């Protein structure tokens, strides 16, 4: 396949979509009339996605529908912990990379799913606990998010961490037992590893205002107020034969916290109401300006994990179901949003604005020459992730070194965007190829993870 040509085509389609959105704004009485899910969603500044099982990419009927109707994909299983780190420290990215390539060749954005989850953990992680598990989990987040850095529109950093039922509290799991701060540690590690990706919390049974969604709401509000980097909340929306009347109001209350919301795993029990429920979910997303996209959990009924529920928009033959038409109509009828830098792009995620309450790292003003470095730490009992900001002085740099003296007992276990010499005591980090040369005042970042405590470390920068 001629990838360049396909990409050019995708750009043209996107430009036409933007034009159409502009026209809709001036000619408000003219209904838009996209004829595919992706075109209709794009006209309204949204994406329309599908969960993809890697092995289906060789099924013609499947791929034809996928490429015609969808402009976003999420791996159904290929980026989960058991798939990406089957043995501790041995990473396997074949399935994830294959899907990313397909997405890039076809102008689709990628949702990453899921960095940490109580289910589908590799056996070695299932039998771990305490500090060893916490460190392994944060290392997993760092490694996987680093591997896919720059290619993911939004990551489900943490999946399904809240309990069902009326408690509104956390679900018990080996991860939860490492300490209640495991979720924020994961988000901070993901931000350090892939600063351009939107970072989401994702869960199910959150289809209205209920105890579980309120527990999550309170967590997101707390994260925003403390500067924990969270940008979006995913509502899986595995639905039965009815929809909570406050589905949209629930999305809106999260959006009002300053995060994007997305429908991330939509499927609906077949039967009389299926088309109506699909349409109601689509309308709810369209009516919430921070609802940036909808993903169905599969393409055709026979691709669905829900088996005989026939829960999706296409028959196995590839034919469109009534639910398809109702979704398309709801997309075409819905209000548009002006695509902003947060709108998904296939390979270039927009800059992520850190929440306003993030305590600004105290970067000293660049000196006349040389460079300066500042560190921001995410610590927990027994470990830490350090993000280091390097700022060039007025002469710029050809390369740089940052030295950090760790307290006794602390040790560096992992470094990204720099190479470390030494692991304990005074550790020297040197730029890698692509981030050594900085213009005057220019900033770059690298990070490292360690065991023990790094409290109070002060980095010293030397330019070369």
Q: Which of residues 304-323 bind ligand XIL (CB under 6 A)?
A: 305
Binding-site size, ligand XIL (CB under 6 A)? 6
The residue (of 75 and 383) whose beta carbon lies closer to ligand XIL is: 75
The residue (of 77 and 358) whose beta carbon lies closer to ligand XIL is: 77
Point out the catalytic residue in the list 43, 69, 76, 265.
265
Q: What CA–CA distance (Å, rounded) separates 286 from 157?
A: 25
Q: What CA–CA distance (Å, rounded) separates 157 from 230?
A: 9
The number of CA neighbours under 13 Å toward the Cβ of 426 is 5
Nearest to 103 by CA among 142, 57, 60, 145: 57
**Within the chain, how many helices (H) and strands (E) appear?**
12, 17
Point out the catalytic residue in the list 160, 184, 315, 445.
160
Ramachandran category for residue 370: left, alpha or beta (phi over 0 → left; psi -120 to 50 → alpha): left
Known active-site residue 76: no
Q: Which of residues 8-27 bind ligand XIL (CB under 6 A)?
A: none
The residue (of 40 and 236) whose beta carbon lies closer to ligand XIL is: 236
Please report how close the Cβ of residue 294 comes to ligand XIL at its closest, in angstroms.
15
Please report how close the Cβ of residue 74 comes to ligand XIL at its closest, in angstroms.
9
The residue (of 311 and 461) whose beta carbon lies closer to ligand XIL is: 311
CB 271 within 8 A of CB 309: no
Q: What CA–CA distance (Å, rounded) separates 192 from 461?
A: 19
Question: Edge-to-edge strand order for the sheet containing 411-416?
Answer: 371-380, 383-392, 443-451, 411-416
The C-alpha angle 143, 99, 285, rounded to 5 degrees, equals 95
206 is an interface residue for ligand XIL by CB under 6 A: no
Query: Which listed residue (71, 104, 159, 444) binds ligand XIL by CB under 6 A?
Result: 159
For ligand XIL, the nearest residue by Cβ is: 305
Q: Which of residues 287-306 bind ligand XIL (CB under 6 A)?
A: 305
Please report how close the Cβ of residue 305 comes to ligand XIL at its closest, in angstroms.
3
The residue (of 103 and 266) whose beta carbon lies closer to ligand XIL is: 266
Cis status, amide bond into 440, omega within 30 of 0: no
Known active-site residue 184: no
The residue (of 304 and 444) whose beta carbon lies closer to ligand XIL is: 304
Mark 417-437 as b/e (b = at least 16 C-beta within 10 Å).
bbebeeeeeebebbbeeebbe
Q: What CA–CA distance (Å, rounded) separates 276 from 262?
A: 19
Nearest to 288 by CA among 246, 260, 252: 252
* Cα of 281 vs its chain's centroid, Å: 21
Please report how close the Cβ of residue 21 comes to ligand XIL at its closest, in angstroms.
31
Please report how close the Cβ of residue 204 comes to ligand XIL at its closest, in angstroms.
6
Please report how close the Cβ of residue 159 comes to ligand XIL at its closest, in angstroms.
5
The residue (of 235 and 448) whose beta carbon lies closer to ligand XIL is: 235
Nearest to 170 by CA among 135, 218, 208, 133: 218
121 is an interface residue for ligand XIL by CB under 6 A: no
Helix (H) or strand (E) holding 62: helix 60-69
Helix (H) or strand (E) holding 89: none
Q: What CA–CA distance (Å, rounded) separates 343 from 7?
A: 18
* Cα of 242 vs its chain's centroid, Å: 29
The residue (of 77 and 289) whose beta carbon lies closer to ligand XIL is: 77
Query: Which listed residue (236, 310, 342, 387) binds ligand XIL by CB under 6 A?
Result: 236
Please report how close the Cβ of residue 69 comes to ligand XIL at its closest, in angstroms.
19
CB 429 within 8 A of CB 401: yes
Compose the 53-92 pattern: x for residues touching ligand XIL by CB under 6 A, - for all others.
-----------------------xx---------------
Please report how close the Cβ of residue 370 comes to ligand XIL at its closest, in angstroms.
48
Applying CB under 6 A, the residues found at the interface with ligand XIL are 76-77, 159, 236, 265, 305
**Active-site residue list:** 160, 265
């Amino acid at each position: 396949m001629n990838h360049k040509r396909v990409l050019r085509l995708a750009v043209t389609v996107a430009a036409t979509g933007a034009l159409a959105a502009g026209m809709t704004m001036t000619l408000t009485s003219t209904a838009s009339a996209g004829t595919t899910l992706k075109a209709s969603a794009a006209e309204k500044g949204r994406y329309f996605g599908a969960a993809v099982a890697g092995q289906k990419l060789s099924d013609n009927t499947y791929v034809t529908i996928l490429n015609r109707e969808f402009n976003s994909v999420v791996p159904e299983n290929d980026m989960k912990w058991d798939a990406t780190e089957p043995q501790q420290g041995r990473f396997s990215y074949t399935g994830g990379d294959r899907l990313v390539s397909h997405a890039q060749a076809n102008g689709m954005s990628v949702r990453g799913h899921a960095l940490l989850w109580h289910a589908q953990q590799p056996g070695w992680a299932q039998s771990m606990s305490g500090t060893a598990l916490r460190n392994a989990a944060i290392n997993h987040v760092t490694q996987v998010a680093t591997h896919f850095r720059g290619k993911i529109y939004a990551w489900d950093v943490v999946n399904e961490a809240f309990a069902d039922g009326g408690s509104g509290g956390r679900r018990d799991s080996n991860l939860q037992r490492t300490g209640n701060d495991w979720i924020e540690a994961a988000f901070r590690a993901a931000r350090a590893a892939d600063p351009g990706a939107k970072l989401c919390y994702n869960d199910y049974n959150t289809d209205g205002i209920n105890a579980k969604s309120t527990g999550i709401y309170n967590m997101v509000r707390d994260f925003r107020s403390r500067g924990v980097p969270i940008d979006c909340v995913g509502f899986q929306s595995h639905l039965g034969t009815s929809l909570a009347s406050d589905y949209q109001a629930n999305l809106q209350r999260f959006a009002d916290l300053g995060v994007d919301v997305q429908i991330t795993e939509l499927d609906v029990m077949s039967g009389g109401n299926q088309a109506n429920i699909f349409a109601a979910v689509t309308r709810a997303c369209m009516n919430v300006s921070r609802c940036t996209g909808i993903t169905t959990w599969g393409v055709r009924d026979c691709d669905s994990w829900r088996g005989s529920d026939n829960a999706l928009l296409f028959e196995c033959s590839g034919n469109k179901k009534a639910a398809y038409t109702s979704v398309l109509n709801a997309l075409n009828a819905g209000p548009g949003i002006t695509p902003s830098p947060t709108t998904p792009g296939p390979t270039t995620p927009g800059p992520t604005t850190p929440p306003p309450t993030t305590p600004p790292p105290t970067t000293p003003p660049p000196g006349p020459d040389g460079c300066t470095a500042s560190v921001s730490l995410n610590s927990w009992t027994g470990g830490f992730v350090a993000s280091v900001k390097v700022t060039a002085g007025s002469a710029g740099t050809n390369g740089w070194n940052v030295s950090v003296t760790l307290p006794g007992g602390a040790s560096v276990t992992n470094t990204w965007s720099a190479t470390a010499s030494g692991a304990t005591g005074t550790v020297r980090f040197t730029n890698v190829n692509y981030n050594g040369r900085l213009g005057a005042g220019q900033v770059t970042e690298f990070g490292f993870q360690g065991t023990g405590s790094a409290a109070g470390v002060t980095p010293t920068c030397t330019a070369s």
